[in-house]
Amino acid sequence: MSTLQQMDHSSLQHLHEKTKKELDAIKKENLSLNMARGKPSAEQLQLSLELLDSVTSKNIGDNFSVLNYGMVDGLPEAKALFKDLLEVDTEEILIGGNASLNIMHDLISKALIKGVIDSETPWGKEDAIKFICPVPGYDRHFTICEQYDIEMISVEMLNDGPDMDKVEELVRNDASIKGMWSVPKYSNPEGITYSDEVVERLAKMETKAKDFKIFWDNAYAIHDLTDHPPKLKNILEACKKHGNPNRVFMFASTSKMTFPGSGVAVVAASRENISFIKEQLSVQTIGPDKVNQLRHVRFFENYSNLLEHMKKHAEIMKPKFDAVIEILHSKLDSYGIATWAEPDGGYFISLDTMDGCASEVIHLAKEAGVTLTGAGAAFPYGKDPRDRNIRIAPSFPSLEEVEKAIDVLCTCIILVSTKKLL
């Protein structure tokens, strides 16, 4: 079979008409499938149900300090459990509430009002401030910037992380660049893990802003789908080695380990940064939900159990990822109209159509009953400059639904691509 570009006009026309009929037939099925967000499935949530029984009136014992105010930086036992997730010491971690996004948002809003540890001026008092945003990236990071008028500078993701030549040049010359987003392991949406070299360069690079911060959102730290996951270099250690210990805030949460609504979020950083964050947090709250922290501590007991638990998630997720990849290959390979990532973990598969096709594909899929992440969502200001990126989130639907949804997606891609080439 020839690629679409090689096809003559009448074969292209024929394929277009045939695909149109296929899509019309699909529409009659009244599908309602949602692959818009990376939500765990009910089956995954069930893996953690016993967590809900781990703290009861019968077994709480004399843990009254857990029930009371206090310990604004979290339960020591929770620090001991989660420190290995980000490979830090107990003094370098703070255990928060149910959402890491909340901690990121808080840190940025406080930086705007008060500055961060090395700031001479609160960020919000500067004429303009900017963040580097590797693209495609996580839409909710970009929405925080948009909310607070932080100008976003897109930097392309390469196979091993952001384009570091570009990043280094930008931060060396522009004092208004105060921060950078990063999802360093199984990036959202491409599933890329930063190489050691990229981590080293981020830790070492010269920044014009003395109070430049990397928001290291390690949301998928242990969300592996293979037995030989890539190893992410410890950026805090690298920052310390290069004399920039306060450069990085690292985040993680159990949102996709236990319950996204009722998990535990953590932030890790240098001791100095953690004391700074703790001091600010003490004004905001007298303490986090330590009962939930205790539930997690009792449910997992130790870090190796947590890793075992993640293998159960992988058993549910892997067949869905495999199905997506297999269907994309079988339906699209020969046409040469799309490329996609085949990640070893995380929650997403990122697909690129031909330029100028993604929004129409997503629109058609929606009409056919398949909801995908909105076009442009993975880019600052919601604008994909090439209108080609589609984020596939296969976790929530059942395997059968994933198969059906990807089938529909492929039909839409063929339809839009043939139309474009005709």
Which residues of this protein are in contact with ligand PMP, per CB under 6 A?
38, 99-101, 138, 183, 188, 217, 219, 253, 255, 260, 265
Nearer to ligand PMP, 266 or 409 (CB): 266
Interacting residues of 225 by C-beta distance below 8 A, sequence separation 6+: 314, 317, 318, 321, 343, 344, 345
Residue closer to ligand PMP by CB (options 255, 353) is 255
CA distance 396 to 224: 17
Return the number of the residue (38 or 136) whose C-beta is nearest ligand PMP. Answer: 38
Least Å from the CB of residue 95 to ligand PMP: 12
- Cβ atoms of 116 and 275 closer than 8 Å: no
Number of residues in the chain: 422
* Distance, CA of 127 to CA of 135 (rounded, Å): 25
Least Cα distance to 94 among 320, 284, 316, 300 occurs for: 284
- Output the smallest distance, CB 23 to ligand PMP, in A: 30
- Structure token digits, residue 207: 């920044």
CB nearer to ligand PMP: pick between 115 and 260: 260
* Tokens encoding 9: 């006009």
CB of 140 to ligand PMP, least distance (A): 7
Measured from the CB of residue 101, what is the shortest distance to ligand PMP in angstroms? Answer: 3
Q: Smaller CB distance to ligand PMP: residue 41 or 255? A: 255
Closest distance of CB 150 from ligand PMP, Å? 17
Q: State the Cα–Cα distance between residues 14 and 207, nearest whole angstrom.
A: 56
Name the minimum Å distance from CB 396 to ligand PMP. 12
Shortest Å, Cβ 278 to ligand PMP? 19
Q: In this complex, which beta carbon is closest to ligand PMP, that of residue 31 or of residue 45?
A: 45
Nearer to ligand PMP, 146 or 168 (CB): 146
Task: In angstroms, give the least distance from the CB of 259 to ligand PMP.
Answer: 10
Q: How far is the CB of 29 from ligand PMP (least distance, A)?
A: 29
- Kindly tell me which of 212 and 220 has the beta carbon lying closer to ligand PMP: 220
Residue nearest to ligand PMP (CB): 253
Q: Of the two residues 188 and 207, which places its CB atom closer to ligand PMP in the complex?
A: 188
